[in-house]
Amino acid sequence: MSEPIRVLVTGAAGQIAYSLLFSIAKGDVFGKDQPIVLLLLDITPMLPVLEGVVMELQDCALPLLRDIVPTDKEEVAFKDLDAAILVGSMPRKEGMERKDLLKANVAIFKSQGAALEKYAKKTVKVLVVGNPANTNCLIAAKSAPSIPKENFSCLTRLDHNRARSQVAMRCGVPATHVKNVIIWGNHSSTQYPDVHHCLVNMSGSELACFDAVKDDAWLKGEFIATVQQRGAAVIKARKLSSAMSAAKAICDHMRDIWTGTPEGEFISMGVYSTGNNYGVPEDLIYSFPVQIKDKTWKIVGDLSINDFSRSKMDATASELMEERDTAVSFLAV
């Protein structure tokens, strides 16, 4: 067996972490023969709850789980990390302006970025889940200047999975028969779920999504709105935000970083935009189609973009630029 890797989950007493930790500790993410030390960070008032989570993990009697370290201290949580999954963030409270939300989160992710810089391995892979995920990810990356920007990504895999599933249900096939959907831009309601390069396996042959679905109006209208608004729809129904599906998406995202994407397939991840050839502005964390090999992602660079897609990609980029500029103005404070 290999040496244990050190994996941090923040917001570890929360809902998403509760759905996530078992899968990580069981070997679904980093491999069935990869021992793990789990570092669990949360705020001080949540430590008693976190203790209960630790007890449950112990009671699972999982062979790969070598140690569990619950803490409210960044210097303990971020030490010698191989992977960091930053789930904890300040949620938007009723009546809260987006600007106030950004300000509160800049403080959190500036601090966690600085802790990554000071304590984690320089090879650490960082996934930001806490919203606004793209901008929080950018702030963390800027606050850890000696860790390569390529090591930071934010979660748009949940949106990717949602889009894939909507197409699959429409075509009456399993979700595994749908590949190469793309989420462009921000993990917000401006994101653009794009199926112009998506393929659907129907009765053994791969069809372009538009040919498989045979309903262009749905694909350009209701489908996009459904994926963009899905998080809000779940909250309305459950009175709680997506947890099970978010945890599954985190597992998918990290597993792909660790083991790579299948040949001929790409997935969606929020990554550093500098140097892309889609005309997306520099210095954003923007969701692109990526392929991963040897723990390194590269943007799939040669896809044709029509005018319909371009306008939607530009709209989500403008929102991200505005968020970035507001967030960066708080960084100096």
State the catalytic residues.
187
3 state SS of 101:
helix
Residue 130, annotated as binding a ligand: yes
For the beta carbon of residue 164, count every other beta carbon within 10 angstroms: 25
213 and 178 in contact (C-beta within 8 Å)? no
Residue 131, annotated as binding a ligand: yes
Residue 52, annotated as binding a ligand: no
**How far, in Å, are 112, 122, 133, 155 from residue 104 at the CA level?**
13, 26, 13, 20
Residue 306, annotated as binding a ligand: no
Residue 42, annotated as binding a ligand: yes
- Identify any residues that bridge with 40 across adjacent strands, giving them in sequence order: 9, 70
254 and 261 in contact (C-beta within 8 Å)? no
Residue 264, annotated as binding a ligand: no
Residue 167, annotated as binding a ligand: no
Tokens standing for 72? 């409210």
Distance CA(22)–CA(39), nearest Å, equals 13
**How far, in Å, are 91, 93, 102, 103, 134 from residue 97 at the CA level?**
12, 9, 9, 10, 18
131 and 89 in contact (C-beta within 8 Å)? yes
**How far, in Å, are 82, 282, 332 from residue 320 at the CA level?**
28, 11, 19
Q: Name the binding residues.
A: 42, 92, 98, 105, 129-131, 162
Binding-site residues for substrate, in ranges, read 92, 98, 131, 162
Query: Which residues are annotated as part of the binding site for NAD(+)?
Result: 42, 105, 129-131
